[in-house]
Chains A and B, each alone.
Chain A
Amino acid sequence: MLNWDLVANPLVWPLVMLLAAGTVAYVAARRVVSLCRVLSVMGAGLTLVSGAVIVGTAPPVRALWADLGGGFVLSLELAQSRLGMLVFIASAVFALLIAVYSLRALRGADDEGRFHAFLLWALAGACTVALAGNLVVLLVGWEIVTLMLFLMMNQGKDNAAAGAAKTYAILGFADACLLLAIALLAAQPGGSANLSLTRGPVAVDSYGPVGYVIYLLILTAALAKAGAIPLHTWIPSAAADAPTPVMAYLPAALDKLLGIYLVALLSLRLLRPDPSLQAVMMVVGGVTILAAVLMAMMQHNLKKLLAFHAVSQVGYMVLGIGTGTVAGIAGGLFHMLNHALYKCDLFLMSGTVGRACGSDRIEDMGGLARYLPVTFASSLIAAGAISGIPPLNGFASKWMVYQGTLGVANKPLASAMLLTAVFGSALTLASFVKVIHSAFLSRRPALGWPSGQTPRESGLLAGPMVVLALACIVLGLAPQWVLDTVFIPVATGGATAAAGAGDLSTALWSPTQATVLILLGLGGGLLLVWLARRNFRSRVVRPFLCGELAAQGDDRFRIDGTHFYRTIEDLPAIGGLLHQGQGGAMDLYRWTGRYGHSLVELLRRQHTGLLCLYVAWCILGVAVTLAYLLLSAGV
């Protein structure tokens, strides 16, 4: 029964360790919470270490589990790849940071112990996906992550259950798509060998039309997980009520990694897309970028705003991979990593800020820069990164995506998408100017602090954010190493467009020179401020209000940062659409619910409870059966 190759293979160890640690934590959740905390930090840390150990060394392993006949073989197959190991290690890093953050953020919460158990299990699922050698193994890990997300989201505020249910519904649909794709692939000639993720891709049309169906099914699954339009609505719905560490861990980080990882696997290892499918991906990417960022600008809830940005950024990754060029694919994948870093940081910021202000409403925030300087600094970096400001990492990957888009043969589409992407980036900046201003720089509203005392930095809360912000800087300044080791080799293997490696030199942004200039500029600016502060006295006066007296803390004279953006809601055409979007008009989940409900009601109305009717159905059923049998026998 026991397969020794499997047990002895180091790829299996972290998975077993995580499952075991999660189980222990789950059992101990109610009684020994401290054990759960230790387990989750240790478990994530050990996974990180084991990732570093196995990378490049551990051989692939394949244990036959069930030969079901007809060419359908279920096997436990694990293998490491460059991209897979990147996802593995990044997932472990995020798990570790979130575990540390929640030591403080969730201390004393009802379900703290279980949170840690779910965190470990979710990491186990993510690592399974990253190491999966075939689609069935991937599906198992994939669904475990979905389930853990659902269970973790349920631990939030009163309304969390609704958002969690919606999340599971949409992601469950994605899982069903993946399941069906597996079945269809296994039924093609070649059997379960088609499910292998370690062999090269075949052209999508080599299976005939069903190949396109399979491609679109897997793409749907991946995009729902990553949160691209139109299957994105679970992220904003869940964001407001789910616990912040959960949002930072799964939708912001792990789900993006896994979703985009699957898009990459699909295009680079399973089915090589043709230009029509690439165009579909590019359009999905472009629409996602623009629509979601417009929605983000309208939000008054910080977490919802971040959630819409989490959707919008997926667009860049999908667009990049959809281009099919080396620069585009590498850029899209690089953006996946970058986005996970800064978005995780920003969600953690929203948790800290929300905690300090006692509210997630942007209008209720303000003046936190003085009290939370470390949080402010790291959020500023992350906000800069997401807005694509050089020399941060977000710029480096967006630049590659832009360059990749330029290499696409279909020029009209490419230019339209490029324009959308750049415009979206500008709007992202606008949106984060609002956030940074409202949360950190504007005047504190007259509400006072919720706990009665001024907020203070906590090492456990700020530490993970600092790490993430530093990572944003490092990857921005020195992207070359990670690009050369992971993204460019992966992309070179899978590029389909004529634009090969030749255009890479222009596509890669070389940060050294520019960085020096940017740093010089920043330094000059700071020097000016310092000199000004030193040599000129500023005069503080009360605002002149034509004689009317205003109290010092009067909120009527406070600029909270959200007013300015109301103009977007009043724009012709777009404004109306956005309002409808806010009301759920573009929510497939809602529409499906509505039409599904009427279908169900139609069926229910037939069940009147009248016995004679039911007997009639039975007689009719037998009659139809008999008629069919007689007809088919030709009697």
Chain B
Amino acid sequence: MTPMEAIVPLLVALPLLTAAGIVAMAHVRPLAKFTSGVAVGVVAVNLVLSLVLLPARVGPIYIGGWSAASTLGIQINCDALAKLMLITVNLVALASLVFSLSYMRQFTKVWMFMSLLVFMVAAMNALVLAGDLFNLFVFLEVAAIASYALVAFGCEAEELEAAFKYLVLGTVGSTLILLGVGILYSLTGQLNMGLVAAGLRKLTLAGGKVGPAPLLAAACLIGGLALKAAMVPFHAWLPDAHPSAPAPISAMLSGVLIKASGVYAMARVVFNVLGPSGPYATVLMTLGALSMVVGVLLAVGQWDFKRLLAYHSISQMGYVVLALGAAAHVLSGPSPQVAVASVCLLGALFHLFNHAAFKSLLFLSSGAIEQQAHTRMLKEMGGLARRMPVTGFCCRIAALSIAGVPPFNGFFSKLIIIVGLAMAGYPVLAALAAFVAFVTLLSFVKVQRYALEGQPSASAAAAHEAPFSMGLAMVVLAVICLLAGPGMMVLRDWLFEPAGRVLMAGSAALIGGAP
């Protein structure tokens, strides 16, 4: 095992142990006050480690004495797509944790929050690194359970109801995923993604035609993962769950959880396990387009700031899934258009990263505003840009980014997605995407008009600027929103291009079992 390969398991092990450690520390009086610091520290270390890993070539790693030849081995698969997700997850987690240092003072039992959050980070790191389908499922569940608890963290009626809905629907999704994994296992006798893909290819070749069983598995997997990604019509849990959680958790859920456990897993399964084909691509594009439109229409009518943001998460993930579907479509068939697929994939992955930055920033600023103005309703705010200049400035940058205004990052990824769609031969979907971009702009004009501009309401008049750590977290994310657009080429060469190549390699991307 090379030193780099030794780092990879640490990304999971460190936060997992820390999450348990925090619980222990909280019960030892002299250590109790350090819990938050430890949580921030371990996630910061994780972020550094994932950045260190970025240029390294890391082959598949076999854990716990399982051999490469074993059918049931635990394999860690740290390819470029996983690295992109690792950086995104840990970056947003770090910002949320730094934000929580001040924000969570209004809650009791902060250690519990910290422990759960670190636990969720560990699960997300593990799930993007998982090389086999069963581990993917296990860590999807671990991350989901942590998030159920975090949504309910406030213990008010509304939060408990949201968590309950989230739990029930999440379980439906998990069941579907488990069913899909089980069917694939029964068909191929493998769980390792690369071997399952190879097995499926063999099945297809033997029969010349796909039987109903792999399609059932695909429908279950896509449905279950679409539920995790909150694609319409599987989205109903999200608008309750995301706003109910404390703001840093909303930032984590919308910023990375739906991407890691939803979009990432869906892309991985469809591209690298099932292999991109026309029908799967059509399903992805339908889900994406539907989410994009329904999400934004529901968002534009909202007056609750956090609910509005939650609906936008559905809509923006729709963009990503739509672009993924278009890429899958041009890759399938006898003459794959690789160049067009790379444009679509670049747009999808870039938008995924950008959305992580601006949506978590929006949720963090909504938390800062809620803490000061004591309301989530836009009509009860007003004039906050003047009362809270730093928060207002960051919120404005994030709003402009999600609305796709140049020179912020969202503009570039949306431009690439829309051009990619047009190049892939879907001018109508491109028009739809441009229209949704316009409606997104409308709803964020509304946010700016009611929250930031105008006359301060009674509750907003007494607002003060957020404390330092909250401001710091927001400013860092705002800087990313500002720089990611002009710095697109650097990011593309380091992150998106290699990750896109993994997806484009299709079902041959993952080397499973014996090399």
Contacts of B119 in A (CB 8 A): none
Q: Are B211 and A603 in contact (CB under 8 A)?
A: no
- Tell me which of B85-93, B251-259, B297-305, B360-368 binds A: B297-305
Considering only residues 208-261 of chain B, those with a C-beta below 8 Å from chain A are: 209-212, 215-216, 218-220, 222-223, 226-227, 233-234, 236-237, 239-240
Q: Are A69 and B215 in contact (CB under 8 A)?
A: no
Least CB distance, B236 to chain A, in whole angstroms:
4
B439-451 Cβ-contact flags toward A at 8 Å (1 or 0): 0011001101100
- Tell me which of B48-56, B72-80, B107-115, B430-438 binds A: B430-438
Selected contact of A625 from candidates B168, B173, B219, B338, CB within 8 Å:
B219
Contacts of B453 in A (CB 8 A): 154, 160-161, 164
Q: Which residues of B contact A (CB under 8 A)?
A: 164-165, 168-169, 172-173, 176, 209-212, 215-216, 218-220, 222-223, 226-227, 233-234, 236-237, 239-240, 278-280, 282-283, 294, 297-298, 300-301, 337-340, 342-343, 346, 400, 403-407, 411, 414-416, 418-419, 421-423, 425, 427, 430-431, 434-435, 437-438, 441-442, 445-446, 448-449, 453-455, 488-489, 492
Selected contact of B435 from candidates A69, A176, A182, A611, CB within 8 Å:
A176
Chain A residue with minimal CB distance to B278? A632
A164-178 Cβ-contact flags toward B at 8 Å (1 or 0): 110011001101110
Contacts of A619 in B (CB 8 A): 172
Does A617 belong to the interface (CB within 8 Å)? Answer: yes
Chain B residue with minimal CB distance to A30? B389
Does A66 belong to the interface (CB within 8 Å)? Answer: yes
Does A441 belong to the interface (CB within 8 Å)? Answer: no
How many angstroms between the C-alpha atoms of A160 and B452 in the bound complex? 13
Q: Are B223 and A618 in contact (CB under 8 A)?
A: yes
How many angstroms between the C-alpha atoms of A603 and B338 in the bound complex? 38
Least CB distance, B38 to chain A, in whole angstroms:
37
User: A140-B411, A611-B168 provided; 15 other pairs, C-beta below 8 A?
Assistant: A66-B489, A69-B343, A70-B342, A139-B406, A164-B453, A165-B446, A176-B435, A210-B427, A604-B298, A607-B298, A625-B223, A626-B215, A626-B219, A628-B282, A629-B279
Q: Are B400 and A147 in contact (CB under 8 A)?
A: yes
Could you jot down 29 A-B contacts, CB within 8 Å?
A: A68-B416, A70-B337, A140-B411, A143-B411, A147-B400, A154-B449, A165-B449, A169-B441, A169-B442, A180-B430, A184-B427, A186-B422, A596-B297, A597-B301, A600-B301, A603-B297, A611-B164, A621-B223, A621-B233, A625-B283, A626-B216, A628-B283, A629-B279, A632-B278, A633-B209, A633-B215, A633-B279, A635-B211, A635-B212
Does A72 belong to the interface (CB within 8 Å)? Answer: yes
How many angstroms between the C-alpha atoms of A292 and B130 in the bound complex? 64
Label chain A's interface by main secondary structure: helix
| A69-B343, A161-B449, A614-B237 given; A600·B298 CB < 8 A | yes
Contacts of A180 in B (CB 8 A): 418, 430-431, 434
Q: Are A68 and B445 in contact (CB under 8 A)?
A: no
Does A448 belong to the interface (CB within 8 Å)? Answer: no
Q: Are B279 and A66 in contact (CB under 8 A)?
A: no
Q: Are A603 and B294 in contact (CB under 8 A)?
A: yes
Q: Are A607 and B239 in contact (CB under 8 A)?
A: yes
Contacts of A620 in B (CB 8 A): 233
Contacts of B414 in A (CB 8 A): 179
How many angstroms between the C-alpha atoms of A184 and B421 in the bound complex? 9
Contacts of B165 in A (CB 8 A): 611, 614
Contacts of A144 in B (CB 8 A): 406-407
Selected contact of B492 from candidates A66, A158, A635, CB within 8 Å:
A66
A129-144 Cβ-contact flags toward B at 8 Å (1 or 0): 0000000100110011
How many angstroms between the C-alpha atoms of A140 and B403 in the bound complex? 14
Contacts of A179 in B (CB 8 A): 404, 414-415, 418, 434, 437
| A66-B489, A187-B427, A615-B169 given; A622·B219 CB < 8 A | yes
Does A162 belong to the interface (CB within 8 Å)? Answer: yes
Does A630 belong to the interface (CB within 8 Å)? Answer: yes
| A176-B437, A632-B282, A635-B212 given; A70·B427 CB < 8 A | no
Q: Are A186 and B449 in contact (CB under 8 A)?
A: no
How many angstroms between the C-alpha atoms of A630 and B209 in the bound complex? 11
Contacts of A177 in B (CB 8 A): 434
| A603-B294, A607-B236, A611-B165 given; A66·B488 CB < 8 A | yes
How many angstroms between the C-alpha atoms of A169 and B411 in the bound complex? 17
How many angstroms between the C-alpha atoms of A162 and B379 in the bound complex? 13
Interface size, A (range): 35 or more
Least CB distance, B113 to chain A, in whole angstroms:
26
Does A183 belong to the interface (CB within 8 Å)? Answer: yes
Selected contact of B438 from candidates A71, A164, A176, CB within 8 Å:
A176
How many angstroms between the C-alpha atoms of A395 and B437 in the bound complex? 42
| A622-B219, A629-B215, A632-B282 given; A615·B449 CB < 8 A | no
Contacts of A604 in B (CB 8 A): 298, 301
Q: Are B407 and A140 in contact (CB under 8 A)?
A: yes
How many angstroms between the C-alpha atoms of A597 and B430 in the bound complex? 24
How many angstroms between the C-alpha atoms of A609 and B442 in the bound complex? 26
| A71-B339, A596-B300, A611-B165 given; A622·B220 CB < 8 A | yes
Q: Are A622 and B176 in contact (CB under 8 A)?
A: yes
How many angstroms between the C-alpha atoms of A625 and B423 in the bound complex? 26
How many angstroms between the C-alpha atoms of A68 and B212 in the bound complex? 38
| A186-B419, A634-B209 given; A617·B234 CB < 8 A | yes
Contacts of A68 in B (CB 8 A): 342-343, 346, 416, 419
| A161-B453, A179-B415, A183-B434 given; A70·B421 CB < 8 A | no
Contacts of A634 in B (CB 8 A): 209
Does A554 belong to the interface (CB within 8 Å)? Answer: no
Q: Are A184 and B211 in contact (CB under 8 A)?
A: no
Does A599 belong to the interface (CB within 8 Å)? Answer: yes
A33-71 Cβ-contact flags toward B at 8 Å (1 or 0): 000000000000000000000000000000001101111
Q: Are B236 and A168 in contact (CB under 8 A)?
A: no
Does A548 belong to the interface (CB within 8 Å)? Answer: no
Selected contact of B339 from candidates A69, A187, A596, A603, CB within 8 Å:
A69
Least CB distance, A156 to chain B, in whole angstroms:
10
Least CB distance, B457 to chain A, in whole angstroms:
13
Least CB distance, A55 to chain B, in whole angstroms:
27
How many angstroms between the C-alpha atoms of A180 and B426 in the bound complex? 12
Q: Are B343 and A615 in contact (CB under 8 A)?
A: no
Q: Are A162 and B449 in contact (CB under 8 A)?
A: yes
Q: Are A165 and B445 in contact (CB under 8 A)?
A: yes
Contacts of A607 in B (CB 8 A): 236, 239, 298
A492-527 Cβ-contact flags toward B at 8 Å (1 or 0): 000000000000000000000000000000000000
How many angstroms between the C-alpha atoms of A632 and B219 in the bound complex? 13
